[in-house]
Chain A
Amino acid sequence: MPKSSPSIDMTPMVDLAFLLVTFFMLAASIRPSDPVDVDIPTSISDMAIPANVVLVTVDAGGRVFFKMSDPEAKRELINSMMGKYQSLKLTEKQVEEFTLMETFGCTVGELPQYIDLSTDERRQFNTSGIPYLDSTKNQLKDWIDFGNRAAVNSGRTAYEVAQMDGLNPDPKDFVPKFILRVDSKTLYANAQKVIDVFRELELNNLNFITSLEMAPL
């Protein structure tokens, strides 16, 4: 009686496994490690996030975090902030690190210490976020105001570069947009205080980050 071989040909399975690995590797985009987890609400809006943005995050506890998309604008921003807050002194290396930092949230006093931390340590960092409740020491207002100016400048530069490259750019695409990323569970009253900071700076056109849901038919 011929003994049938106990081995199974695994080639098709391995082929499939590698195909899937390749697919997921190419489809995956690395998510920036944020110091805060936000459960974003859903809407039917399908507008993509614009390129030049100033983004303010409000987490479930009402803490506020700040982010800007353009590293060059961030350099200008931190220089403006150091001009306003004389106590804030950063080394050239820390400024470099700041421009590469994604979302951050801490007081101006905590900033040098915060920059020196690793990404994981920033998540653990015990902070109350950027102060925005006190109208006299409203640091969020300064971040947004200087951030806006820096983003306008960097947007203009990007527009000129695009024009020189012989493209036909739309100036609207280079104007900074203001984005709010609010947690579903956070109280609207918290978000409203942040919105009021924007409105005081006459920035009335805001965008909320949402994840896509199907529109009803």
Chain B
Amino acid sequence: MAEIAEGGGGGGHDKGKKRAKKSSTKVDMTPMVDLAFLLLTFFVLTTTFAKPKVMSLVYPAKLTDEELKDIEPTKINNAITFLLTEDKIYYYEDEFFPKGNPQGEPPTELKETNFSPDGVRALLAKGNKYVIQERERLEKLVESKQMVDSVFTKKMIEAKQNKKALKVLIKTDDKATCKNFIDLVDELKIADIGMIAPVDILKSELDLLKAKAK
């Protein structure tokens, strides 16, 4: 493949005279090159560069019925609850009011959203204004060397736990996929939300979701 035989080592000009043929100094490299390319192809196809990473998520502790009884229902302020089904996301803000609730509030309506920049991301940025402003303020202090990184990290954790920070609850029905769930948690991490709680869906919410998703 590499060389085409040219008849002898180089005695082309001596017409008729018989001489001992000089053996060529060239080695046939074809098999070696074949092997090199074979290996190259193999490694190119099998190598994966991106090592998988992990995303941490803290679940609420599981309580026994006994412990659940002792907990008084708290009023939820500044919260968003996401309801996931198949590849759709619905949400409502603050507290959930079923139809005909004793407080006389209008019943909660589910709103649909998606993973486009104007969807979940814009919604979270609006709700989590406090933490985002706090981050900007602290980042400026770090930039002007008035604050060290370790203090910044600590302050950010405090800001995320602050009362004014957005709380997010995630509820899923039995058709939601893991991809949808992880994508949503990812959006929450992007939006600097510290209080994420995946919780069980209520019967009334499930009914509302079913009616909406049809």
Interchain CB contact under 8 A, B175 and A45: no
Q: Digit string of B175-206 for contact with A (CB within 8 Å is 1, else 0)?
A: 11111111101100110000000100000000
Categorize the interface residue count of chain B: 35 or more
**A178 to nearest B CB, angstroms?**
10
A49 and B52 contact, Cβ closer than 8 Å, known pairs A21-B40, A21-B43, A43-B186 = yes
Interface assignment of A32: CB less than 8 Å from any CB of chain B? no
Assess whether A48 is in contact with B56, with CB atoms less than 8 Å apart.
no
If over half of B's interface residues share one DSSP class (helix, strand or loop), that class is named, otherwise mixed; here it is mixed
Chain A residues lying within 8 Å of B172, measured Cβ to Cβ, are 188-189, 192
Question: Dominant SS at the A interface?
Answer: mixed
The distance in angstroms between the C-alpha atoms of A208 and B180, with both chains bound, is 13
- List CB contacts (< 8 Å) of A162-217 with chain B: 177, 179, 182-189, 191-192, 195-196, 198-200, 202, 204-212, 215-216
Q: Judge if A46 is at the interface, Cβ distance under 8 Å.
A: yes
Q: Which residues in A have their C-beta under 8 angstroms from that of B62?
A: 196, 199-200, 202, 204
Q: Name the residue on A nearest B174 (C-beta).
A: A189
CB contact between A14 and one of B3, B29, B44, B198 (< 8 Å): that residue: B29
Does A88 lie at the interface of the complex (its beta carbon under 8 Å from any beta carbon of B)?
A: no
Binds B, one of A5-13, A101-109, A151-159: A5-13
Within 14-29 of A, Cβ neighbours of B (below 8 Å) are at 14, 17-18, 20-21, 24-25, 27-28
CA distance A8 to B1 in the complex (A): 10
Contact across chains for B50 and A7 when beta carbons are under 8 A apart: no
| A188-B56 in contact given A21-B43, A200-B62, A202-B61 (Cβ < 8 Å) | no
- Does A31 make an interface contact (CB < 8 A)? yes
**In the complex, what residues of B have CB within 8 A of residue A200's CB?**
62
Q: How far is the CA of A182 from the CA of B182 in the complex (A)?
A: 10
Contacting residues, chain A, for B178 (C-beta < 8 A): 41, 58, 182-188, 191
Is A1 part of the contact surface with B, judged by Cβ < 8 Å?
no
Q: Does B74 sit at the interface, judged by CB under 8 A?
A: no
- In the complex, the answer to whether A28 meets B54 with C-beta atoms within 8 Å is no
Is the beta-carbon distance between B54 and A47 smaller than 8 angstroms? yes
**Using a CB–CB distance below 8 Å, which chain A residues touch chain B?**
5-8, 10, 13-14, 17-18, 20-21, 24-25, 27-28, 31, 40-50, 58, 177, 179, 182-189, 191-192, 195-196, 198-200, 202, 204-212, 215-216
| A-B contacts besides A43-B185, A43-B189, A46-B53, 12 pairs, CB < 8 Å | A5-B6, A31-B46, A41-B183, A44-B189, A185-B177, A187-B175, A188-B172, A195-B198, A199-B62, A207-B54, A211-B50, A216-B190
Of all A-B residue pairs in the complex, the 5 with the closest CB atoms, nearest first, are A24-B43, A184-B179, A45-B55, A207-B54, A41-B182
Q: Provide 12 A-B residue pairs closer than 8 Å at the C-beta atoms, listed in order of the A residue.
A: A7-B4, A10-B2, A42-B182, A47-B53, A183-B178, A188-B176, A188-B178, A188-B180, A202-B62, A205-B58, A210-B55, A216-B121
